Structures are given as C-alpha cells and as structure tokens.
C-alpha cells in the first residue's frame, strides 16, 4: 500500500512524461505547483482504500501500473535496445549483438505454443550461467563467512578490557554462539525433540521469537516511515502548513 | 460499544494518522540516538576522505521506498560533498534512475548556491552519474576488474576517461567505500559478488530488511548499515553535529513522528492483548 502511495510522487510521473515526450512535455503553461496537486490527489486516492475500496483508488492504481510500465519500457529501450543493439548493428556495422538478440527472441517464442520448446535452449544457458556464478559466491558469503563471523568471538581480548564493556562483549559473544546453536537445533529434524535436544530446541524458539520480534518492530517502523513521508509531502510541499 | 469501536481497523488508522500529523505541528525535540552501525558508515566515508579516494553510491531504490531511502541517500551525498569526497553514482533499479540523478544534481545545486560556494561541486570532478544498467550481477563482477571498462561513458554518453574523478581509479581497490542503498535484496548480491575483490561495502536499507544485514556486519563483510528512516535521521544528526550541514533533513523531520507512532502502536498491542484475555476469561 505504502509503496503504491510513494510511487505516485510527482517526481516520477513528471520525469516519465518528460522522457516519453521530450519535445512536447511538459507544456509551458503547466507550472510545478500542478505536479504537487497531481501527486497529492494520487496520494489521497490511494490512501482512500483504508476506508473502503472505491473508484478513485482503482483509477490511481491503474494509472500507477500504466506509468510504471511506460517508464520502464522507455528507459529499457533507450538504455539497452538502442545502445546494445540498434546503434552497434545499424550504425557501426558490428554484427556480434545479433547473437544475443536471437537468444532473446528465442525466449519470447515461449508465447507461441508450437515453438515454445525453442525457449528452453536460451533458458538452459541462463540457468547454467546463473548457477555457476551464484553458487560459490553465495556459499562463501552466506555460509562460510557467517560461520566464521559467529565463531571468532575474542573472549580473551574482551575479558581483558574489564567491566563493563569487556564483560558485556564477552556475554554477548556467549549469547551469540549459544543462540545460533539452539536455533539450529530447532531446525534439526533427524532426532526427536525430547530431553536435551528438546530443551535446546525450546531455547532456540526463544531466540527465534526475539529475532521475529525485532523484525516486526523494524517492519512497523518501515511502514510508518513511508506513510509519514507522504504526510510530510502533503503538509509541507503541497499545503505549505509546515516548513 | 467501545470494544466494537476499538476493533474497527478504521479507528486504528484514524488514531495513527492523528499521531503522525500532530508531531509535525508542534516543536518537539526528542533525542535522536546514533546507533553504532550508522556511525560505522559515517566513519567509512571519513576514511575514504582521508585516503582521498572516491566513494560509489548505488542508488538501488525507486519511488516506492523513497520515504526511507531518499533521506539516507541525500545525507550521504551531502557528507561526501561537504568533505570533498568524490561520488560515483549509479543504479541497478530501472524505476529509480531519474530519482537518483535528481538527488545528486539537487545536492550539487545546494552546495553551489551556498554563499561563497559557487562551482564548489563540479560534475566530472566531484561527482558523476553513470545511470542504470541491466543485469547487475555481471556489472558488479566486471566492476571488480575495471569500472571504466564496463561503463565507458556516463549516463549522458560522455567518456569517463576525460573526467578527473576517474583519475587513478581502476576497480574496487581504488574506491574508498561502496554503498548500496536499497529496498530490495540487491545488497545481498553486492555482498556476494564483491567479496572476492575485498571491496569496502556499506548498506543503506529499509527498516524491514535491516535485521537481514546486521549479521553481515558482525562477520565484517560490510562496514556498516543505515537502517531505515531512523538510521537516516542518525546520519543527519552526525552531519549537523560535525557542522557539515546546518539542518536536519526529511528523516530528522520525521523522527518525532516515528517515536510518537511507535508508542501508540505499543499501546495498541498491549490493549489488544488485554482484550484478548478479557474475552478468553468471559468464554470460560
């Protein structure tokens, strides 16, 4: 909801129109204040959904989708299509870009039922390439580096710093390692969660709940921030009530 | 009747709206604490300044999360401009291209319009806008080898070889700090694909995603994190405290609203639980 509200900012719509119609847009008589009015109407229209679904919300929603598609298509064409294919092939006589263009067209053939099998070849290439690039790097950054980060707590160094920060850092290190092990035990399903394993898993649940609580708190903060930014726009930029 | 009214979501929305608007109207100065992850990003920019190296800011957000990400982007650009640390701007999100460019241009304009600040920030010397490029994973990997090799020109087609900002810049080794400001999972790819180059990386992110990136900081894979609008407000406070910028920005303006609305939401949660237990006891 909030993302839709924010996306209707005057900046994006104005720039989309400028990009799509650079020679005729914006008409001279449209001053900046009308962009603020348009953005404010869009914001109010989207927020009106809170009360109930209505025609104004529907119109704003469709405008947003249309604008986003138009903007993306325009930027894609000028940045990718023109720079990487049209200009090299037709202006510079470089024929190499025809190969990736053919692969791209093969992907599009997916929409033709009789020729949809053709799309499997470029897709196989993309998947293979993606996996090859991703697997080793993600293993390194999300598994090995994280395990290293969890286990390299400098207990001796922390304790030597004394009370309070040194001791607190040591306790923090113990909690980090214990929390990680307990949470991992909760997701270990090859043993019945009874006795020691069951107790450890229960402690793991507490750590997981604390983690979820922190995430929830941040989520609330995020949603409030996005909405507050739109309220700030209406009060300051549009109505001029606050400075 | 009161119970019924409290259960109507529209009542909750109305109260939240009132609590968000009210702090904008009154002068309240609630404290803005500076969390260590934000301080670390600030210090990393300062380190880049001392080393006289440019920083990269990847504006990987679009208008949908501008409320959170734009204030931190503005604060970082102001910090860099105030310390004469060159900024290389780019984006990997197509719908964020113009927004990002406007942040850089607006900040440059602000500095140049300050008394005695004419031409203090010059395009090509103090900042450059490389624009949007698709398939960002390949771009990040290629940047690890040769930044000018993959970009060649700025967003307007001007050759990077002619720009003073790129003098002595080959790859991430010559970059003081690379920051990705995003409302999506793009920072995860930045972390994964720049690890092999040992790039100094920082992340600015929406509050929703913040907890996702703290473990990377713990493991020293990134230098720091700016979490959401409160993180941006903390960064703005650092700029004000160090006299790099005279006033708080949008995040600072929203700080009171954040605090007030959080208190109300906590009260809602407590009230909801009380109602739950009352009903439970009534059923029994």
pLDDT means over runs of 10, chain B (284 residues)? 74 90 82 92 97 96 92 97 96 90 95 87 96 91 94 90 94 96 94 92 94 89 94 96 93 89 91 89 86
Cβ separation of B206 and A222 shorter than 8 Å? yes
B168: left (phi over 0), alpha (psi -120 to 50) or beta: left
Nearest-CA residue of chain A relative to B233?
A225
Closest CA to B74 of B33, B49, B109: B109
Count of C-beta atoms within a 10 Å radius of residue A136: 12
Q: Which residues of A touch B24 (CB under 8 A)?
A: 231-232, 235-236, 242
Burial of B118 (0-12, 13-18, 19+ CB in 10 A): exposed
Compare CB distances from B221 to A19, A134, A145 and report the shortest one's residue. Answer: A145
- What are the pLDDT digits (tens) for A204-224? 999 999 999 998 999 998 999
- What are the pLDDT digits (tens) for B86-143? 999 999 998 888 899 999 999 999 999 988 878 889 999 999 999 998 889 999 999 9
Nearest-CA residue of chain A relative to B211?
A215
Judged by CB atoms within 8 Å, which residues 128-187 of B form the interface with A? 131-134, 137, 141
ipTM > 0.95 for the complex: no
Cβ separation of A231 and B66 shorter than 8 Å? no
Question: B207-218 and B186-194 are packed helices; what angle lies between their axes, rounded to 10 degrees?
Answer: 20
C-alpha span between B58 and B207 (Å, rounded): 18
Structural domain spans, chain A: 2-96, 154-243
B228: left (phi over 0), alpha (psi -120 to 50) or beta: left
Q: In this prediction, what percent of chain B has a pLDDT beyond 70?
A: 99
Model pTM score: 0.85
Q: How confident is residue A174, by pLDDT bands cut at 50, 70 and 90?
A: confident
Report domain B35-256's class: alpha beta
According to DSSP, the β-strands at B225-227 and B55-60 are unpaired
Cβ separation of A235 and B257 shorter than 8 Å? no
A102 pLDDT more than 60: yes
CB A76 within 8 A of CB B94: yes
Q: What rounded mean pLDDT belongs to chain A?
A: 84
Cβ separation of A225 and B207 shorter than 8 Å? yes
Cβ separation of B94 and A211 shorter than 8 Å? no
Bridge partners (DSSP) listed for residue B205: B182, B227
Structural domain spans, chain B: 35-256
Q: Which residues of B touch A218 (CB under 8 A)?
A: 207-208, 210-211, 227-228
Cβ separation of A214 and B211 shorter than 8 Å? yes
Count of C-beta atoms within a 10 Å radius of residue A148: 12
């Amino acid at each position: 909801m909030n993302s839709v509200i924010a996306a209707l900012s005057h900046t994006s719509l104005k720039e989309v129109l400028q990009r799509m119609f650079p020679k005729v847009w914006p008409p001279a008589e449209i001053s900046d204040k009308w962009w603020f009015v348009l953005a404010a109407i869009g914001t109010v229209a989207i927020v009106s959904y809170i009360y109930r679904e209505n025609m104004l919300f529907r119109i704003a929603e469709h405008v947003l989708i249309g604008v986003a598609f138009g903007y993306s298509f325009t930027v894609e064409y000028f940045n990718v299509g023109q720079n990487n294919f049209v200009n090299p092939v037709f202006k510079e006589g470089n024929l190499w870009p025809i190969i990736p263009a053919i692969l791209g067209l093969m992907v599009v053939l997916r929409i033709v039922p009789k020729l949809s099998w053709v799309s499997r070849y470029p897709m196989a290439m993309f998947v293979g390439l993606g996996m090859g690039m991703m697997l080793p790097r993600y293993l390194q950054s999300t598994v090995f580096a994280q395990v290293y980060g969890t286990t390299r707590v400098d207990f001796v160094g922390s304790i030597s710093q004394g009370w309070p920060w040194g001791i607190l850092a040591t306790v923090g290190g113990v909690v980090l390692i214990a929390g990680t092990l307990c949470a991992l035990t909760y997701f270990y399903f090859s043993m019945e969660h009874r006795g020691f394993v069951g107790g450890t898993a229960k402690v793991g649940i507490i750590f997981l709940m604390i983690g979820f609580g922190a995430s929830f708190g941040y989520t609330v903060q995020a949603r409030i921030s996005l909405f507050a930014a739109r309220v700030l726009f209406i009060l300051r930029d549009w109505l001029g009530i606050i400075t | 009747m009161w119970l019924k009214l409290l259960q109507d979501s529209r009542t909750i929305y109305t109260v939240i709206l009132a609590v968000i608007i009210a702090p904008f109207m009154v002068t309240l100065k609630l404290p803005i604490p500076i969390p260590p992850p934000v301080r670390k990003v600030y210090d990393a920019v300062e380190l880049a300044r001392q080393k006289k190296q440019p920083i990269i800011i990847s504006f990987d957000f679009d208008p949908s999360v501008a409320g959170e990400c734009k204030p931190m982007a503005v604060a970082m650009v102001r910090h860099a401009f105030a310390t004469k640390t060159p900024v290389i701007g780019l984006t990997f999100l197509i719908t964020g291209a113009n927004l990002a460019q406007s942040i850089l241009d607006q900040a440059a304009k602000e500095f140049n319009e300050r008394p005695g600040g004419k031409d203090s920030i010059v395009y090509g010397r103090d900042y450059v806008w490389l624009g949007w490029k698709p398939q960002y994973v390949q771009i990040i990997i290629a940047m690890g080898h040769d930044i000018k090799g993959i970009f060649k020109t700025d967003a307007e087609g001007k050759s990077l070889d002619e720009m003073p900002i790129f003098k002595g810049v080959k790859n991430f080794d010559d970059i003081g700090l690379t920051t990705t400001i995003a409302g999506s999972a793009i920072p995860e790819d930045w972390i994964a694909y720049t690890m092999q180059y040992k790039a100094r990386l920082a992340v600015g992110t929406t509050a929703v995603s913040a907890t996702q990136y703290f473990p990377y900081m713990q493991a020293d894979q990134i230098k720091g994190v700016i979490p959401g609008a409160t993180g941006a407000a903390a960064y703005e406070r650092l700029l004000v405290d160090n006299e790099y910028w005279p006033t708080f920005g949008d995040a600072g303006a929203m700080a009171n609203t954040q605090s007030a609305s959080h208190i109300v939401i906590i009260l809602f949660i407590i009230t909801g639980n009380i109602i739950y237990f009352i009903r439970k006891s009534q059923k029994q």
